């Protein structure tokens, strides 16, 4: 089945996944970065304290297995309960990260503080929550490997030197999973040369950088003019190609429709995303939305038959602005700070398959593209594409934010999964019901059907950041995210719920199949 996780992993990540192989998708490696073990070895109080301080300065964030991505089979009757408990796991990590960030002096004085006061208690909380997930699944007749599930409770820490994806040994060419804006999911890496700054980036400062102390850092930015071209050629069209397109115009969220919920991954949970989203299209989307409420809601799209929800994390410039959510959950309380930027333009287009005709998207199909937790999950499901206007077809970045030349604007590009299993509108981990086509041929694998591929281009006018001599970034910008993910560019992602009326889904498919450009 054309799965979206066939990327190479570091040996450590492979070992971590092996421990939970009975549950795992087979990807989404966990990167384990240990604290300086020698901090516990000295017999001298003074030396030990010095080593403790050094170790504490290196502890950048907390790494926990992403339980939700490992659960590929959850009975429908258990999904709401499981989703609630998964949201509890996210909340626990958020609270632990906040404690990590606020206890630096204690960490400097005591080499065992992080383990004893933060990581250890976090494991106990997670173990209890994970056991409730097991109970929820088994109560309705589902099966789960309890031993493998239990092993996902333990968390560890990541050192400062391992919090930049450019320095984690991924060797991804800085272009990510690129195929003309799409994702390379055929198992092959992007072989374009990485940028000079990616291969020689310095470790982030001990405070993790950024206005809120959780990123971004200088190594997260690169002058796009110094990056080698890395966008792969698109597959050639076959005789059965669907070459049309359908554009829907839904605005840029100028009305500032925001919230920190995520109805796909955390239904019924307020602040389930832990970061702000922009919403266009359907205007009544929150944690408590239902299929019926989505159908009854207004839309920002010009075509009022398009009630689909298109939502993505906001981008902020860290200029000291106190936004409306400066003291709120999902906002300043969780390290998402600065002025929220509204895109200058938002292009939303459905395109066809180079290999076949497409079938219409089913009503209420849910798709998430990218991974909000790449810092701790690894890059297997990353699908972030950052670029600059004028460079979109040449350079796209996954692991760094671009610094654009004068007259050019920052661009976020998304190309969603374009293969559907033909049955399910969602899956337990919100991934396995859809997949990417083979990047070389555009063919959907293992019985999956080609659907119109949703693509987006969001353009932002941002004053170029400057990298200061002391390693700080002036006018830094970053995508909102979970606080422990340190605002890494690779955590960018996009969410979609297909909701249409008046037979619009069929009209989109017919337009794409007929080679027309419609709107």
For the stretch 234-250, pLDDT in tens is 999 999 999 999 999 99
88: its two tokens: 């509890």
In 3-state terms the chain splits into helix, strand, coil percentages (rounded to 5) of 25, 20, 55
pLDDT tens readout for residues 349-365: 999 999 999 999 999 99
Residue 417: name the closest of 386, 395, 448 by CA: 448
168: its two tokens: 């984690």
Q: How far is CA 289 from CA 286, 303, 325, in A?
A: 5, 21, 22
Q: What span, in angstroms and rounded, lies between the C-alpha atoms of 454 and 308? A: 12
- Average confidence (pLDDT) over 406-410: 97
pLDDT tens readout for residues 118-176: 999 999 999 999 999 999 999 999 999 999 999 999 999 998 766 654 333 333 333 33
- What integer pLDDT is reported at residue 7 of this predicted model? 35
Chain centroid to CA 42: how far? Answer: 41
Q: What span, in angstroms and rounded, lies between the C-alpha atoms of 387 and 245? A: 23
Q: What span, in angstroms and rounded, lies between the C-alpha atoms of 486 and 507? A: 42
DSSP of 245-310: EEEE-----TT--EES--TTTSTT-TTSSSS-EEEEEBS--STT--HHHHHHS-BSSSSTTB--EE
Q: Check residues 402 and 199 and name the one with the higher pLDDT.
A: 402
Other C-beta atoms closer than 10 Å to the C-beta of 226 total: 12
From 59-68, 190-199, 469-478, the region with the lowest mean pLDDT:
190-199
pLDDT exceeds cutoff 80 at 217: yes
pLDDT exceeds cutoff 90 at 23: no
Other C-beta atoms closer than 10 Å to the C-beta of 289 total: 20
pLDDT exceeds cutoff 50 at 103: yes
From 30-44, 383-397, 422-436, the region with the lowest mean pLDDT:
30-44
pLDDT exceeds cutoff 80 at 45: no
- What integer pLDDT is reported at residue 472 of this predicted model? 83
CB 490 within 8 A of CB 380: no
With cut-offs at 50, 70 and 90, classify the pLDDT of residue 208: confident
pLDDT exceeds cutoff 70 at 26: no
Q: What span, in angstroms and rounded, lies between the C-alpha atoms of 113 and 388? A: 44
- What integer pLDDT is reported at residue 453 of this predicted model? 98
- Average confidence (pLDDT) over 442-471: 94
- What integer pLDDT is reported at residue 34 of this predicted model? 26
In the three-class reduction of DSSP (H, G, I as helix; E, B as strand; rest coil), residue 82 is classed as helix
CB 427 within 8 A of CB 72: yes
pLDDT exceeds cutoff 60 at 375: yes
- Average confidence (pLDDT) over 13-21: 33
- Average confidence (pLDDT) over 207-223: 91
CB 245 within 8 A of CB 263: no
- Per the prediction, the chain carries an average pLDDT of 84
Q: What are phi and psi of 52, to 5 degrees?
A: -60, -40
Residues of the chain with pLDDT > 70, as a percent, come to: 80
CB 352 within 8 A of CB 244: yes
- Average confidence (pLDDT) over 205-212: 75
Residues 6+ positions from 336 with CB-CB distance below 8 Å: 212, 275, 276, 314, 316, 325, 330, 480, 481, 483
Largest CA distance in the chain: 77
CB 250 within 8 A of CB 302: yes
Kind of pairing, strands 434-435 and 419-420? antiparallel
pLDDT exceeds cutoff 90 at 115: yes
- What integer pLDDT is reported at residue 199 of this predicted model? 28
Q: With left for phi above 0 and alpha for psi between -120 and 50, is residue 126 left, alpha or beta?
A: alpha
- What integer pLDDT is reported at residue 207 of this predicted model? 65
Q: What span, in angstroms and rounded, lies between the C-alpha atoms of 166 and 162? A: 9
- Average confidence (pLDDT) over 260-271: 97
pLDDT exceeds cutoff 80 at 189: no
- What integer pLDDT is reported at residue 200 of this predicted model? 27
- Average confidence (pLDDT) over 218-240: 96
Residues 6+ positions from 409 with CB-CB distance below 8 Å: 344, 388, 389, 459, 460, 461, 462
Which of the given ranges, 40-54, 174-188, 241-255, has the highest pLDDT on average?
241-255
- Average confidence (pLDDT) over 175-179: 40
- Average confidence (pLDDT) over 224-241: 96
DSSP 177: S
Angle at 311 between CA 310 and CA 312, to 5 degrees: 135
CB 116 within 8 A of CB 68: no
> E strands within 404-446?
410-415, 419-420, 434-435
- What is the four-CA torsion angle of 265, 270, 273, 275, rounded to 10 degrees? 160
- What integer pLDDT is reported at residue 55 of this predicted model? 46
In the three-class reduction of DSSP (H, G, I as helix; E, B as strand; rest coil), residue 62 is classed as strand
Residue 174: name the closest of 195, 200, 203 by CA: 195
DSSP of 21-59: TTT--S----------GGGGT-SSHHHHHHHHHHHHHHE
Please report where in the chains the tokens 């050192």 appear, as a residue.
159
Residues 6+ positions from 468 with CB-CB distance below 8 Å: 218, 474
Angle at 391 between CA 416 and CA 368, to 5 degrees: 15
- What integer pLDDT is reported at residue 8 of this predicted model? 32
- What integer pLDDT is reported at residue 186 of this predicted model? 32
Q: What span, in angstroms and rounded, lies between the C-alpha atoms of 325 and 328? A: 5
């Amino acid at each position: 089945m054309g799965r979206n996780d066939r990327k190479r992993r570091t040996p450590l990540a492979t070992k971590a996944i092996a421990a939970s192989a009975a549950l795992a998708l087979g990807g989404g490696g966990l990167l384990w970065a240990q604290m300086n073990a020698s901090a516990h070895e000295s017999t001298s109080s003074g030396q030990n304290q010095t080593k403790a301080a050094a170790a504490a300065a290196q502890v950048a964030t907390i790494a926990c297995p992403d339980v939700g991505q490992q659960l590929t089979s959850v009975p429908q009757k258990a999904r709401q309960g499981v989703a609630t408990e998964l949201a509890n796991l996210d909340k626990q990590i958020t609270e632990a990260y906040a404690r990590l960030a606020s206890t630096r002096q204690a960490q400097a004085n005591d080499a065992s503080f992080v383990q004893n006061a933060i990581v250890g208690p976090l494991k106990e909380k997670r173990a209890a929550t994970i056991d409730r997930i097991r109970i929820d699944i088994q109560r309705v007749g589902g099966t789960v490997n309890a031993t493998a599930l239990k092993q996902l409770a333990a968390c560890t820490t990541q050192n400062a030197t391992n919090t930049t994806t450019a320095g984690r040994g991924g060797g991804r060419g800085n272009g990510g999973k690129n195929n003309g804006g799409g994702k390379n999911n055929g198992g092959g890496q992007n072989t374009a040369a990485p940028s000079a700054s990616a291969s020689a980036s310095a470790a982030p400062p001990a405070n993790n950088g950024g206005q809120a102390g959780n990123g971004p850092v200088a190594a997260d930015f690169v002058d796009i003019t110094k990056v080698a071209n890395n966008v792969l050629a698109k597959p050639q069209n076959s005789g059965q190609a669907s070459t049309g397109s359908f554009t829907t115009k839904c605005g840029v969220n100028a009305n500032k429709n925001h919230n920190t919920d995520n109805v796909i991954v955390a239904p019924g949970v307020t602040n389930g995303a832990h970061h702000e989203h922009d919403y266009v299209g359907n205007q009544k989307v929150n944690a408590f939305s239902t299929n019926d409420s989505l159908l009854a809601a207004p839309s920002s799209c010009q075509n009022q038959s398009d009630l689909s929800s298109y939502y993505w994390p906001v981008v902020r410039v860290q200029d000291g602005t106190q936004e409306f959510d400066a003291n709120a959950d999902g906002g300043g309380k969780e390290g998402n700070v600065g002025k929220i930027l509204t895109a200058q333009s938002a292009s939303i287009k459905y395109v066809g398959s180079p290999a076949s005709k497409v079938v219409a998207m089913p009503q209420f199909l849910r798709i998430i593209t990218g991974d909000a937790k790449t810092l701790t999950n690894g890059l297997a499901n990353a699908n972030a594409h950052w670029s600059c206007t004028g460079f979109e077809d040449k350079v796209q970045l996954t692991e760094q934010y671009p610094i654009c030349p004068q007259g050019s604007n920052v661009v976020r590009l998304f190309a969603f999964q374009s293969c559907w299993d033909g049955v399910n509108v969602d899956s337990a981990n919100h991934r396995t019901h859809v997949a990417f086509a083979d990047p070389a041929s555009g063919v959907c694998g293992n019985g999956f059907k080609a659907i119109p591929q949703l693509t987006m281009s969001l353009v932002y006018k941002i004053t170029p950041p400057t990298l200061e001599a002391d390693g700080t970034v002036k006018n830094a910008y970053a995508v909102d995210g979970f606080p422990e993910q340190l605002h890494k560019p690779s955590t960018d992602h996009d969410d979609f719920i297909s909701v249409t009326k008046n037979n619009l889904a069929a009209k989109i498919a017919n337009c794409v199949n007929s080679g027309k450009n419609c709107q």
